Amino acid sequence: MTSHTVKRPCSFQIGTFITGKWHKNHYELRKELGFGANGIVYLAQSSKGIVAVKFSDNNATIASEVNVLKSFAKAQGDSLGPSLIDVDDYVVNGKVYPFYVMEFIKGDSLLVYLRKRGNEWLNVLSLQLLGQLEQLHQLGWVFGDLKPENLIIQWPEQRVRFIDVGGTTQQGRAIKEYTEYFDRGYWGLGGRKAEPSYDLFSLAMVMLTAAYGKRVPKAEGGLKELGERVKAKKELAVIEPVLMKAFAGKYASAREMKQELADTIHRKSSAYHRPVPVKMSRMQIRKVKGKQKKSGRMAETLFLILLVTLLYAIYMLGLIV
Ligand SMILES: Nc1ncnc2c1ncn2[C@@H]1O[C@H](COP(=O)(O)OP(=O)(O)OP(=O)(O)O)[C@@H](O)[C@H]1O
């Protein structure tokens, strides 16, 4: 389980120059990006540009995360996690700090991004995420610790990227690391065996959290409580069947959930934008038009619908080919 009340595992002063014991590469630590149960991550300057460097007290943590990142590198097309640049040890005063260097992913975490751009982007990002989860599952992994803080929307590509592979577990084993709120066991809705449905539950929780803009504390847990929360938010209510199926662990694969989400969004958006019936009175037409103007985000909505339709078309084409 991850927690941010833990003490820092190791920390270095900003401005410190690090030289790796084995590969002799140099890194200047510029800024702390964050820390958690498993280590501390710095933004650093290297001869190859800006990078992110993760240190840990624990050799096994570094070895296991490096192993996952190497495996992710085998995925076709999209890069799932940050690309791996270097792995080495930093020795200071006789103490050894294992570290790895990875691509620095520039962007906003999911909730910050949606706060800036609007929740209309949630479904588009979720479809993207489902595509990436599908690849990750096909490689034999389960992400495990899926939460908004571990998702960065890369700028300027606007692409969702996973960070922190500390929870990534081989399928069939027990989830290595998780955050209670996004864990199906905590909600009384399943075990912690690493299988695709584990990540799909967490993804549905991420969508719920994103729509509310925060984690709404659990009361008694269970499907009924989650269902009530879904119904209470317009953007979630339109995709209720998909979310409820994910909460109940009824999706066998990310592909299946992606298809149903794409179908649902497509159906709802075409229904919403059906032409005004001819038999309406002038008064009714004015009312409808007034409502449409009120939204004030017409252009963006239309753009999103086009985007979703395009993604849907590409997806359907993928199924046929
Ligand atoms: N490649 C990266 N690019 C940009 N920021 C990063 C990168 N890797 C990590 N970070 C930042 O550093 C923070 C801490 O990193 P990370 O989550 O890997 O540490 P952790 O010890 O495993 O934390 P946790 O206890 O939450 O699992 C992240 O929340 C993120 O803000």
Residues 275-291: tens digit of each pLDDT: 544 445 555 556 555 55
What residues are annotated to the active site? 145
Could you give the CA distance from residue 2 to residue 39 in angstroms, rounded to a whole number? Answer: 11
pTM exceeding 0.80: yes
User: Residue 244 — pLDDT band, cuts 50, 70, 90?
Assistant: very high
Could you give the CA distance from residue 48 to residue 1 in angstroms, rounded to a whole number? Answer: 35
Angle among Cα 177, 130, 103 to the nearest 5 degrees reads 65
Cα-to-centroid distance, 143 and ligand 1 (Å): 14
SS3 of the chain: helix, strand, coil, percent, to 5 = 45, 20, 35
pLDDT reading at 6 higher than 70:
no
What is the average per-residue pLDDT within 43-57? Answer: 96
User: Residue 304 — pLDDT band, cuts 50, 70, 90?
Assistant: low
**pLDDT tens per residue across span 128-170:** 999 999 999 999 999 999 999 999 999 999 999 999 999 999 9
pLDDT at 3: 45
What H or E segment, with its residue span, contains residue 138?
helix 122-138
pLDDT reading at 26 higher than 90:
yes
**Which tokens hold the place of 137?**
């599952």
Please tell me whether 294 is known to bind a ligand. Answer: no
Residues 6+ apart with CB under 8 A from 208: 216, 226, 229, 230, 233, 236, 243
For 127-157, b/e burial (b = at least 16 CB within 10 A) is bbbbbbbbbbbeeebbbbbbbbbbbbbbeee
pLDDT at 302: 56
Could you give the CA distance from residue 45 to residue 38 in angstroms, rounded to a whole number? Answer: 22
pLDDT at 285: 52
Cα-to-centroid distance, 275 and ligand 1 (Å): 47
Cα-to-centroid distance, 280 and ligand 1 (Å): 56
- The ipTM, to two decimals, is 0.92
pLDDT at 270: 73
pLDDT at 277: 47
- Tell the residue nearest (CA) to atom 21 of ligand 1: 36
Domains and CATH numbers, the chain: 17-103 (3.30.200.20), 107-320 (1.10.510.10)
Q: SS3 of 236, please?
A: helix
Does the beta carbon of 102 lie inside 6 Å of ligand 1? yes
Does the beta carbon of 100 lie inside 6 Å of ligand 1? no
What H or E segment, with its residue span, contains residue 35?
strand 26-36
DSSP string over 162-173: E--GGG-EETTS
What is the average per-residue pLDDT within 96-122? Answer: 95
Q: How many residues does the chain have?
A: 321
pLDDT reading at 223 higher than 60:
yes
Residue 98 · residue 56 · CB < 8 Å: yes
Angle among Cα 282, 288, 294 to the nearest 5 degrees reads 135
Residue 305 · residue 311 · CB < 8 Å: no
Mean of pLDDT over the chain = 87
Does the beta carbon of 38 lie inside 6 Å of ligand 1? yes
List beta partners, residue 89: 98
